[in-house]
A and B are shown apart, each in its own frame.
Chain A
Amino acid sequence: MHKLFQKTALVGAFVLAAGAAVAEYPEKPIEVIVGYSAGGGTDVMARTAAPFIEKYLGDGASLVVKNMPGASGQIGVTEVANADPDGYTLGTFNLPGMMARTIDRKADYDRESFTYLANVVNDPNVIVTAKSSGLDTMDKLIEAAKADPGAITVGMSSLGGDDHFMLIKLEGLTESEFTIVPFKGSAPARTALMGGHVAMGILNISEVASFQEELNVLGVATTERSDFAPELPTLQEQGFDVVNGSMRGFVAPAGLPEDVVAKLDAAFAQLASDPDFLQAMKDTANPVEVVRGEEFKALTSDLYDLANQVWQETPWN
């Protein structure tokens, strides 16, 4: 009797599974794992994007955001990497952080653990200086850094993040040397700049846009002026060829079925040009730049190589 029951259950499960493959994706709620607490930048991106992705997946699709904060996002992203690749577990993905964590500590995932859906936010780095420092142009700043190597203190949000890589790029390009002061997060770094406790800062454009009167914003690390704050000049305009930023997007576990990938890709493609979505992102300080599929994967690989190279030359812990 017991065995019969087991068999029935097994057959039943197969029938259900077969049914699932035939039925249209998605037929149950999709969980989106965010590796940070509710209300953080990544969480706000996920929750802002969720209703639009639901709309473009159609058929009453529903996305449920689940926060799994801890270990700079590592706990959440590990959960995504190890989830079933059935399209019902997606996750947010931060660059270069998620790749840097595979280099500077032991991680249970790597580049190949994910199906890359879309990068949605690209928040470019900016170079700012304290008003009290008197360093109000890039040339003055670099000159001061060269005159006394290490004399310029640079506030940033952490080591091994986009701010840090940005500074490494700048140091390489200008053959100068700075002293890094890694605060816990960008807001304390920005406050220390406003109080004149550090001379220079590397932040992201969304973090300085409303502080332009309190700080000298010297340049943005993009190829073209950012829509987010078009009045700010790029570094390239001033002869410094540095492009860098912090990126946030969506991934799924590796080995997602192709039809599911196609559906999700189509949804993200429509999302990229939805004016309501773009406005909502602008309101929540998220500069949008959607990069999908293979291109997103290539971007991740490039950033991994950069992080790895920096790590080989100047390990940060």
Chain B
Amino acid sequence: MYSDLLHALPEVFALTNFIAVIIGVLAGIVVGAMPGLSATMAISVLVPFTFGLEPLVALGLMAGIYNGAMYGGAIPAVLLRIPGTPAAVATTFDGYPMAQKGQGGFALQVAVVSSSIGGIASAFALMLLAPPLSKVTLLFGPAEVFWVAVFGLASIIFLLGGNPVKGLISACFGVFVSVIGSDPIYGNDRFTFGQLELLDGINIVILLVGLYALPPVIDLLETPLKTDSVEGEKLGTEPIWKALPKMKGYWKTWLRGSFIGIWIGILPGAGGSMAAFMSYNEARRSSKKPDDWGKGEPEGVAAAETANNADTASALIPALTLGIPGTAVAAVMLGGLLVHGLQPGPMLFRDNPDVVFGFMWQFLFGAILLVLLGGSLATNSFARLLNLPRPLLGSIIIVLMLIGVYSIHGRMFDVYMMLGFGAVGWVMDKLKFPLPPVVLGLILGAFAEENLRLALRIGRGDWAVLFKNTTSLVLVALTVAVVVGPMIKRRFIDSRKKEGEA
């Protein structure tokens, strides 16, 4: 197998194939940076065109876009507090405060380096460990996947700090949105009010754009005369080789983020946003000064961005070996592979080694190119956007949002729905309800429901099926630890304080 890997390398360096990766990365950064346009969408637009392209050109474009977009999403997340893609939500936590402190440039550099490292780690996992890791995926049946979702929800609500009650309410709203549409087992309509458009449920991008992009834009337009504190010259961009030494302390975060990203990637369904949240949580928990987090701690950006790129290539492991995509983007990519006669399954690696291993190399090079292309070029040009007058910037973003949401299915219905979510988001923002649990609630709620119901059918209605094997029990234990752990810790600290006072 490893000789196949080397054998595929020369093709990857063929001029057109390599240029495809470069164009892909650039396009991905741009798409990711625009609120409303996501990697999933860019690749779905691309798939029909790939019918006429050579396989490695088409796949190179896709690999590039995927890597580029996962970093691109960080740009508006840092500069405007608008995550460009669902996976960049966690990047806003510390990225935006950094930009407000005049460290926007450094935040973007941390993001691009971390993204690249996550991507490289993930590509290596895909190249070297795909067959054994796909065995891990097989351990996760409906019952186990249900617990993964519960664990994800619990950690977001209880670890993300702040007010757990408000977090829980936000998460419930997200879960409620996930219920809209036809039910996952019988296909009965739920809360669709006879609208065919609602049958498939609500696309995550519509919710994200409305909830996250509209309120900051309203803020931009509300105070048109206020000059932005983040100005071009204060962005703090310095050459990346000067910024690199400042990041050498992040290696633990990078390592942890890569591991979490790869792990989440091989589990079907959860995807980049959950990886970024979990990596952020873990990094904060192990930090010596957790109170600085959320106020502009560069390591927070590093944690989120490493993980959301580390799930890119690893999400392809179950996709290529089993045909089940780990993320929405991987699902679209599977279509792109099928177009070229590459059918997922154990035979894929034997039948088409040159293309498959070439594709893996392209992931690796896409991740490496990210530093070069995203580092100087993209970061500088996008950062300049902030020098635009605020009303103009706000209007441009609104136009992008409308185009992005409309182009998902090509219908106005989605645009109206996005505006509705925007109103909800604005109110939540003013009342200080956290938004991340809504996004995770939507993603994981649907996931939890479907798998719980499948598991119960398998167990013929007996709830014991949820606790039947070790994998499930380990996940249950983790969930309990996440919920109870912080409470015990707080008690412990409180009682210590009391002792000190006494």
Q: Which A positions have Cβ atoms within 8 angstroms of B?
A: 37-41, 43-44, 47, 65, 67-72, 74-75, 78, 104-106, 150-151, 153, 158-160, 179-184, 187-188, 190-192, 194-198, 207, 210-211, 213-214, 283-285, 316-317
- Residue from A38, A105, A198, A210 within 8 A of B347 (CB atoms): A210
Question: Do B348 and A160 touch across chains, with their CB atoms under 8 A apart?
Answer: no
B345 within 8 A of A: yes
- Residue from A67, A159, A179, A284 within 8 A of B185 (CB atoms): A159
B385 within 8 A of A: no
Question: Do A44 and B338 touch across chains, with their CB atoms under 8 A apart?
Answer: yes
Q: Would you mind naming 23 contact pairs between A and B with Cβ atoms under 8 Å apart?
A: A37-B44, A37-B332, A38-B48, A39-B335, A39-B336, A67-B48, A68-B409, A70-B199, A105-B187, A153-B457, A160-B187, A181-B142, A187-B323, A190-B323, A191-B138, A191-B268, A191-B324, A197-B141, A198-B141, A207-B323, A210-B345, A210-B346, A285-B338
Beyond contacts A104-B187, A187-B324: 17 other A-B pairs, Cβ-Cβ < 8 A, are A38-B47, A39-B47, A39-B334, A70-B196, A153-B458, A158-B187, A179-B460, A181-B458, A191-B318, A192-B141, A195-B139, A197-B458, A210-B343, A210-B348, A213-B346, A317-B186, A317-B188
Question: Do A150 and B460 touch across chains, with their CB atoms under 8 A apart?
Answer: yes
Most chain B CB within 10 A, of A150, A159, A192, A198, is at: A192
Which residues from chain A contact B373 at a C-beta distance below 8 Å? none
**Chain A residue with the shortest CB-CB distance to B45:** A38
Which residues from chain A contact B47 at a C-beta distance below 8 Å? 38-39
Which residues from chain A contact B460 at a C-beta distance below 8 Å? 150-151, 179
* CB-CB under 8 A for A191 and B189, given A39-B332, A39-B339, A40-B335: no
For the complex, what is the distance from the CA of A248 to the CA of B334, rounded to whole Å? Answer: 20
For the complex, what is the distance from the CA of A70 to the CA of B339, rounded to whole Å? Answer: 21
CB distance from B326 to the nearest CB of A (A): 12
| Contact residues, B164-186 vs A (CB, 8 A) | 182, 184-186
For the complex, what is the distance from the CA of A160 to the CA of B347, rounded to whole Å? Answer: 31
B341 within 8 A of A: yes
Which residues from chain A contact B322 at a C-beta distance below 8 Å? 187, 190-191, 194
Question: Do B199 and A71 touch across chains, with their CB atoms under 8 A apart?
Answer: yes
B219 within 8 A of A: no
Which residues from chain A contact B323 at a C-beta distance below 8 Å? 187, 190-191, 207
Question: Do A195 and B138 touch across chains, with their CB atoms under 8 A apart?
Answer: yes
Which residues from chain A contact B341 at a C-beta distance below 8 Å? 283-284
For the complex, what is the distance from the CA of A67 to the CA of B184, rounded to whole Å? Answer: 23
For the complex, what is the distance from the CA of A60 to the CA of B51, rounded to whole Å? Answer: 19
Which residues from chain B contact A197 at a C-beta distance below 8 Å? 141-143, 458
Question: Do B185 and A69 touch across chains, with their CB atoms under 8 A apart?
Answer: no
CB distance from B316 to the nearest CB of A (A): 14
Which residues from chain A contact B189 at a C-beta distance below 8 Å? 105
CB distance from B417 to the nearest CB of A (A): 14
For the complex, what is the distance from the CA of A280 to the CA of B111, rounded to whole Å? Answer: 43
**Would you list the 9 A-B pairs with minimal beta carbon distance, nearest first?**
A39-B335, A197-B141, A317-B186, A187-B323, A283-B341, A195-B138, A210-B345, A210-B347, A71-B199
Which residues from chain A contact B346 at a C-beta distance below 8 Å? 210-211, 213-214
Question: Do B142 and A74 touch across chains, with their CB atoms under 8 A apart?
Answer: no
- Residue from A75, A159, A184, A285 within 8 A of B186 (CB atoms): A159
For the complex, what is the distance from the CA of A150 to the CA of B450, rounded to whole Å? Answer: 21
**Chain B residue with the shortest CB-CB distance to A36:** B335
Which residues from chain A contact B318 at a C-beta distance below 8 Å? 191
Which residues from chain B contact A39 at a C-beta distance below 8 Å? 44, 47, 332, 334-336, 338-339
B140 within 8 A of A: yes
| Proximity bits, B317-360, A CB within 8 Å = 1, else 0 | 01000111000000010111011010111111000000000000
Question: Do B409 and A70 touch across chains, with their CB atoms under 8 A apart?
Answer: yes
Which residues from chain A contact B458 at a C-beta distance below 8 Å? 153, 179, 181, 197-198
**Chain A residue with the shortest CB-CB distance to B348:** A210
CB distance from A216 to the nearest CB of B (A): 15
For the complex, what is the distance from the CA of A198 to the CA of B460, rounded to whole Å? Answer: 12
| Proximity bits, B46-70, A CB within 8 Å = 1, else 0 | 0110010000000000000000000
CB distance from B190 to the nearest CB of A (A): 11
For the complex, what is the distance from the CA of A70 to the CA of B408, rounded to whole Å? Answer: 11
CB distance from A246 to the nearest CB of B (A): 16
B11 within 8 A of A: no
Most chain B CB within 10 A, of A71, A150, A183, is at: A71
Which residues from chain B contact A65 at a C-beta distance below 8 Å? 48
CB distance from A91 to the nearest CB of B (A): 16
B292 within 8 A of A: no
Which residues from chain B contact A194 at a C-beta distance below 8 Å? 138, 322
* CB-CB under 8 A for A188 and B324, given A39-B47, A39-B332: yes
Question: Do B196 and A47 touch across chains, with their CB atoms under 8 A apart?
Answer: no
* CB-CB under 8 A for A184 and B450, given A39-B47, A191-B138: yes
For the complex, what is the distance from the CA of A187 to the CA of B143, rounded to whole Å? Answer: 17
B238 within 8 A of A: no
Question: Do A211 and B187 touch across chains, with their CB atoms under 8 A apart?
Answer: no
- Residue from B51, B142, B187, B332 within 8 A of A159 (CB atoms): B187
Question: Do A75 and B196 touch across chains, with their CB atoms under 8 A apart?
Answer: yes
For the complex, what is the distance from the CA of A270 to the CA of B276, rounded to whole Å? Answer: 53
B233 within 8 A of A: no
CB distance from A65 to the nearest CB of B (A): 7
Question: Do A181 and B454 touch across chains, with their CB atoms under 8 A apart?
Answer: yes
CB distance from B46 to the nearest CB of A (A): 9
CB distance from A282 to the nearest CB of B (A): 9
* CB-CB under 8 A for A285 and B187, given A39-B338, A43-B335: no
| Contact residues, B247-283 vs A (CB, 8 A) | 268
For the complex, what is the distance from the CA of A181 to the CA of B200, rounded to whole Å? Answer: 20
Question: Do B187 and A38 touch across chains, with their CB atoms under 8 A apart?
Answer: no
For the complex, what is the distance from the CA of A211 to the CA of B385, rounded to whole Å? Answer: 51
**Chain B residue with the shortest CB-CB distance to A37:** B44
**Chain A residue with the shortest CB-CB distance to B344:** A187
**Chain B residue with the shortest CB-CB distance to A150:** B460
Which residues from chain B contact A158 at a C-beta distance below 8 Å? 187
B309 within 8 A of A: no
Question: Do B197 and A70 touch across chains, with their CB atoms under 8 A apart?
Answer: yes
Which residues from chain A contact B332 at a C-beta distance below 8 Å? 37, 39
B137 within 8 A of A: yes
Which residues from chain B contact A74 at a C-beta distance below 8 Å? 196, 199
For the complex, what is the distance from the CA of A78 to the CA of B196, rounded to whole Å? Answer: 11
**Chain A residue with the shortest CB-CB distance to B408:** A69
Question: Do A47 and B51 touch across chains, with their CB atoms under 8 A apart?
Answer: yes
